[in-house]
Amino acid sequence: MRPTSGFAAALVASVIGLSGVASAQQQPPARPDMLLREVVQGMPRGEGQEVRVFVATIQPGQATPFHTHRFPVTVYILEGAFTLEMEGRETVIARAGEAMVEPPNVRMTGYNRGSEPTRVVIFYVSDPGTPFLDPAH
């Protein structure tokens, strides 16, 4: 009787496994939605690049230092809104669920002009060891 119960357990397990595979196969493949597509200038061209990902919380009324970046910076807004003021360019406001690119070698500062904290994810690709930002005067 024991071999039969082992066989029954294996049969049940394979039916459960197959039904899981069948339902997984009925789902279309996962695909990303494009959030931002932008041609940029000034990416690093060396043999190797350093990729850094930061998260930051900017409190209401708080600002970043006046600064520049040596390479483009991509910012994704998780919560709130982020206002970027750049010298010689229009002000950019990005809200939760949006992304933007900060250009290299442009003096800028960012603000949270809202009443709730702003949370962002920052992606920076640079030559290895390059500072994330350079203070501007």
pLDDT tens readout for residues 27-37:
999 999 999 99
Say yes or no to pLDDT of 113 above 50: yes
Say yes or no to pLDDT of 47 above 70: yes
Using DSSP's 3-state secondary structure scheme, residue 124 falls into strand
pLDDT digits (tens, 9 = 90+) for 48-67: 999 999 999 999 999 999 99
Angle at 73 between CA 68 and CA 79, to 5 degrees: 110
What integer pLDDT is reported at residue 126 of this predicted model?
97
- Residue pair 52/70 in contact (Cβ under 8 Å)? The answer is no
Confidence of residue 81 (pLDDT cuts 50, 70, 90): very high
Q: Mean pLDDT across the chain, nearest whole number?
A: 88
